[in-house]
Amino acid sequence: MTTLELNKQLKTQVRKIHNDSFSLQLLLNYAKQLSDNSSNDNTLTGNKLRLWNRTNILSRLYKGWDGAEALPIESKTIANMNGVLKKGSDSDFSGWVLFPDDNGTLLLQSQNKDASISLGNSLFSYVYIKENNVVSGENMRFSVSSFLNILKSINNDAI
């Protein structure tokens, strides 16, 4: 979202607060995005915007969102995903869909390949099936660059 769009959303949420904790959480999310954008106003479009919006929606899940004991997505995990989205190119995220996992992590699933990447607070894992061979990495230390390297490798069949 651009700074202008975030300002508009911020004003809308301020009007809705009236002791509503959900609206307050939305307000805080928009304020955080606005402060993040103020230093670097790179507009998100296409795939990145689609996943940014999905991440924002998933950040609002509460404990038990699945009707059982699912955990909410941790704020550090949300920040990690947003960091990846800010640094990656739009084409990096083409054909990827984002899901919540009941353990409080995020799951990126490819629609184009038999691959998925699980992202947590400080670790990530991936599974990629290429020509009937399973390639995987478990409990890898998260950094934006290491995550993007795996994502791009999967996209380019370079694993």
Tens-digit pLDDT profile for residues 29-74 = 656 665 555 444 456 779 999 999 999 999 999 999 999 999 999 9
Please check whether residue 40 lies inside any domain of the structure. no
Please check whether residue 12 lies inside any domain of the structure. no
Distance CA 124, CA 46 (A): 24
Instruction: Answer whether residue 149 shows pLDDT above 60.
Output: yes
Please check whether residue 139 lies inside any domain of the structure. yes
Please check whether residue 97 lies inside any domain of the structure. yes
Please check whether residue 4 lies inside any domain of the structure. no
Domain that holds residue 141: 72-155
Please check whether residue 132 lies inside any domain of the structure. yes
pLDDT per residue as tens digits for the range 6-23: 666 666 666 666 555 665
Domain count, the chain: 1
Sheet strands side by side (includes 123-130): 96-100, 106-110, 114-119, 123-130, 133-141
For range 126-142, the mean pLDDT? 94
How long, in residues, is the chain? 159
Please give the structure tokens belonging to residue 58.
């998933």
Please check whether residue 46 lies inside any domain of the structure. no
Please check whether residue 11 lies inside any domain of the structure. no
Q: For the chain, what is the total number of helices (H) and then of strands (E)?
A: 5, 5
Q: What is the pTM of this model?
A: 0.72
